[in-house]
Every structure is written in C-alpha cells, then in structure tokens.
Chain A
Amino acid sequence: MTDVITRTSVEPTNPEPATTSGQTPSTPRLVSPFERLGLRGRALQTANWVGVVAGVYLLVTAVNLIGSGFKTATGGSAETLFAFASNPFVALMVGILVTAATQSSSTTTSVTVGLVAGGLPIEIAIPMLLGANIGTTLTNTLVSLGMARDRVSFRRAFSAATVHDFFNLIAVAIFLPLELAFGLLQRSSAWLAHQTSGSDGGVFASVLGGLGDVIAAGTKPLSDAVKHGTELIPGVWHGIVMIVLGVALILAVINVLGKLLKVLMVGRAAGVLHAAIGRGPLSGVASGAAMTVMVQSSSTTTSLMIPLAGSGAFSLRQVYPFTVGANIGTTVTALIAAFAFGGPEAEVARQAAYVHLLFNVYAALVIFCVPGVRELPLRAATWLGNVASKNKAWAAAWVLGVFVMVPALLIAATVIW
C-alpha cells in the first residue's frame, strides 16, 4: 500500500500550492473552488454549503430545461428523434458511450430523466440507464492504469477496478433480457412511481408530490427564462440548443458539486469508512452507498478504492461490496433530478429515476446475495488482473474493447444497416 501511495504522493501530476496548514506542495489535498477566490475559514464553509444548495437548484433547473427542450425539439414525436435507439442494444451502447465520455453516470441518468419527462419513451430510456452503469466503471479502470509501473500493485488495482466492470456487465446480462422479455424494470418502476405520485397514492405520494411541485415551481422561472431567451432560434434548433445548454449545465454543476461535497463530506465519509472496517460485506455495501450519496459520484468512490487496493491495504474481497454500494448510492442524483417536474411529468420522471435505483438494488440482491453468483465478478476480475499484469495488452484491449470499440461498432452497424 504505502509504496504506491508514497509514490503518487511524492510525484503528483498536478501538485497543489503550499497551504496554510503547512502541507507541502507534494501532498495533494482537496480544494474548494471558493478557496481559489480567497475565502477561508467560516466564510469558506458557508460558501461551500451555499454552493451545494445552488448546485442542486441548477441541476434540477437544467433537467427541467432538457425536458422542455426535448418537447420543443420533437414537437411531441420523441420517438422519431431517438428512432436510432429503438433497438435496446443500441440504446444500451449509447448509455455506455455517453457515460464513458462524460465520466459521470449522474450526468447520463439526470439527462435521461429530463428526456423521459420531455417525452422519450421509457422503453428506450431503460437500456440507456443500464448502459450508464457500465460506462461509469471506465473511470476507476483508467485510474488503475496509472499503477501499471509496478506489476503487483497493478494486478491488485486492475482487479479492484474490473470487479466493478464485471459486476455491472453481469447485471446487464441478467436484467436486460428479463426487461425485454417481461418488462421487469418498467413494470416495477411504474408501480413505484404511481405509488409515490399523484393524488391516489396516499400520504407519501401527497408529500412527495407537494415537495416536487414546490421545487418544480422554484426552478421553472429560470428554466423559462432560458427558454424565452433562446426563442429567436428557429424551429427544432431552439429545442436542441436548450438541451445542449441543459447538458452543459449538468456537466458543470456535477463537476463543481463533486468538488464541494468532497471538501464538505470528507470527515463524515472517513467516519463511515472507519466504522465499516472489520465488519462484514453488508457494512461494505452500506458504506459504499453512504459515501457515494455524500459525494454524489460513484466514479469518485470507486476510484478512491483503486490505490487502497493496489497497495494491498484492502483486499479485492473487501473492495467488492463497496463498489456494489456505490452503484446504489449513485442513483440518488437521478431521484433528485426527478424533482424538476411537477404534475403528470413528475410520474414519468420519477419512473426513470426508479429504474436506475431498482436495477441496482435488484443487481445487488441477485448477484451479491446469491453465493455462487457472487463469486463470478471476483473470479473474472482476479483472472483479468493476473493476465493484464503479465501482458498489458490485455488491459488495453479490455478498456478499448468494452468501453469504445464494441459500443461504437454496434451503433455504427445499426445506423448503416
């Protein structure tokens, strides 16, 4: 452990400047964007929290903008714009590619929630949400490539990264066919959305509906202002510009939110991890989920485990439940995004968010809780780590094949034929 941590600590790619706390420039540390503006102490802390609240507000507004822009662009016939993705495998690959490119499943799921509220059929959205789960595993795999200089560390790190890949690939291999055959996720998410929306869903639905209406009403003025401000753009392009602005805003907000939450939550996250050490796998799942909710990024939490696994401080078997928890924790972003809509749009938006949540919960129950199946990602990741540490071409083929070539070729083949 310490050799890798020491090396990366001593030779950071982007060393931060010396700090008032006496840290040397060689020790990377978390820096709030507001710190760069000269804020310190209580003012910085307050600014960080205000930044988080503003970030969530902008996230919800951006999702609303995407929904509105999609309606404007498609004029009620969303299927035609996404006709190329009506093949579920292509929609899956779109989810993988977009998430791999943005390195953020939260961005893909939030955008998808907005598109569904704007009229995108849920049948197209479900494979895209499943693809987001696979695409997000690219980040920690790329992080592990940075440890390739030391063979033993790389073997451990690459296995720790790809156990997440294999878990999510197996999850899709199980649940995409079930979805196509029985509509498992569509039906269960529709039921859950109905129970938590509308006037006939009881007290819980009324509270959520009321909260959603308040939030949607609060974010609508800004969303409408952008819509009116871009009205001069003619026809379909008006909607497309709104979607592009919404996606850009989500990317920026997720990025800044991640930085702020890391600074604000590092203490609590450390407490969660300390409490999980020495306990069973369920504590690992819970700590992975809790930490991901705190920093709003499964990429961050799973990437965090790479140096810890590479050094040998945490075993593959200990990292595995943590990544499963990260999958569940990251679904919170889409649930927050769904609050961008009120009325009838709220139910479909929530349904899309519930698809992501239910998929990850089902996957954890089926793969992680069934003893024989639970070992599959571990065995596959151990094997791949072994062969990749002996021949790096395996690692390169895995990264390029799973995250770039197979999705791109499948999409190209569908478009051409």
Chain B
Amino acid sequence: MTGTPRGAVPPVEEQLAEIVREAEARVAELRRQLEQRRLEAAQHAEVDRLAEHLAQATVRWPEVRGFFDDVLDELRGPDLP
C-alpha cells in the first residue's frame, strides 16, 4: 500500500479484478466454443445419417394432401354444434 494515493484502488485489488475479468472472458469464450463443438457434433451426427436423410428427401404426396386438408379445415373454421 505504500505510495498508493488515499481513496485509490490498491494495485493488488486492481490486478485481481483484471484477472477475474480475463477469467470470465475466457470462460465465456470456452462456453461459446463448447456450444459450437456440441452443435457441430450434432451436425456431424446428422451427416452420418445422410443415406437415411437422402432416402427421405422426396415429396410425400399424402403429407402434402394432408397439409392442404388442414388448411381447408382452418379456413372453414370450427364446426359449430
């Protein structure tokens, strides 16, 4: 504390605060990287199932017809008793 002006933040506390800030920034960066790695792992897992996805990448007409049936039902509104 020698030479520290009265009321000023002590150098040790300042250094500790700086270390905390850096640690927090590092943790935030690590969290971001962890999240990114998890997301990429999920994407790689999906690409591993590419054959299955490719087999399904076609128009399914019963589903399309079902969709338009739903739209027509919504447009007609709820049936009143």
Interface residues of A (CB under 8 A from B): 1, 5, 8-9, 12-13, 16, 27-31, 103, 139, 142-143, 145-146, 148, 262, 266, 269-270, 273-274, 277-278, 295, 300, 303-304, 306-308, 311, 313-314, 391-393, 395-396
Q: Which residues of A contact B57 (CB under 8 A)?
A: 143, 300, 303-304, 306-307
Interface pairs (18), CB distance under 8 Å: A8-B56, A9-B52, A30-B51, A30-B55, A31-B55, A143-B57, A146-B60, A148-B67, A266-B50, A274-B44, A274-B47, A277-B43, A277-B44, A300-B54, A303-B58, A303-B59, A313-B43, A392-B70
List 13 additional A-B contacts (Cβ < 8 Å) besides A16-B55, A148-B70, A392-B70: A1-B46, A12-B56, A29-B55, A30-B55, A145-B63, A145-B64, A146-B67, A269-B50, A270-B48, A277-B44, A303-B58, A304-B57, A313-B42
CA distance A307 to B59 in the complex (A): 12
Q: Which residues of A contact B13 (CB under 8 A)?
A: none
Interface size for B (C-beta < 8 A) is 30
CA distance A148 to B78 in the complex (A): 19
| Chain A residue with Cβ nearest B36 | A278
The answer on a CB contact under 8 Å between A27 and B75 is: no
Q: Does B40 contact A (CB under 8 A)?
A: yes
| Chain B residue with Cβ nearest A103 | B59
Q: Which residues of B contact A270 (CB under 8 A)?
A: 47-48, 50
Q: Does B53 contact A (CB under 8 A)?
A: yes
Q: Which residues of A contact B46 (CB under 8 A)?
A: 1, 5, 308, 311, 313-314
Q: Does B27 contact A (CB under 8 A)?
A: no
The answer on a CB contact under 8 Å between B55 and A28 is: yes
Chain A min CB distance to B48 (Å)? 7
Q: Does B62 contact A (CB under 8 A)?
A: yes
Q: Which residues of A contact B16 (CB under 8 A)?
A: none
| Chain A residue with Cβ nearest B50 | A270
CB within 8 Å for A308 and B44 given contacts A13-B60, A13-B62, A396-B68: no
| Chain A residue with Cβ nearest B73 | A392
CA distance A354 to B63 in the complex (A): 37
The answer on a CB contact under 8 Å between B54 and A392 is: no
CA distance A304 to B46 in the complex (A): 11
CA distance A35 to B67 in the complex (A): 33
Chain A min CB distance to B75 (Å)? 6
* CB-contact partner of B49 in A5, A13, A306, under 8 A: A5
Chain B CB within 10 Å, residue with most, of A1, A139, A142 = A142
Q: Does B71 contact A (CB under 8 A)?
A: yes
CA distance A396 to B57 in the complex (A): 20
Chain A min CB distance to B67 (Å)? 4
Q: Which residues of A contact B75 (CB under 8 A)?
A: 393
The answer on a CB contact under 8 Å between B59 and A142 is: yes
CB within 8 Å for A29 and B60 given contacts A5-B46, A274-B47: no
Q: Does B74 contact A (CB under 8 A)?
A: yes
Chain A CB within 10 Å, residue with most, of B36, B50, B63 = B50
The answer on a CB contact under 8 Å between A262 and B74 is: no
Chain B min CB distance to A73 (Å)? 32
Q: Which residues of B contact A274 (CB under 8 A)?
A: 44, 47
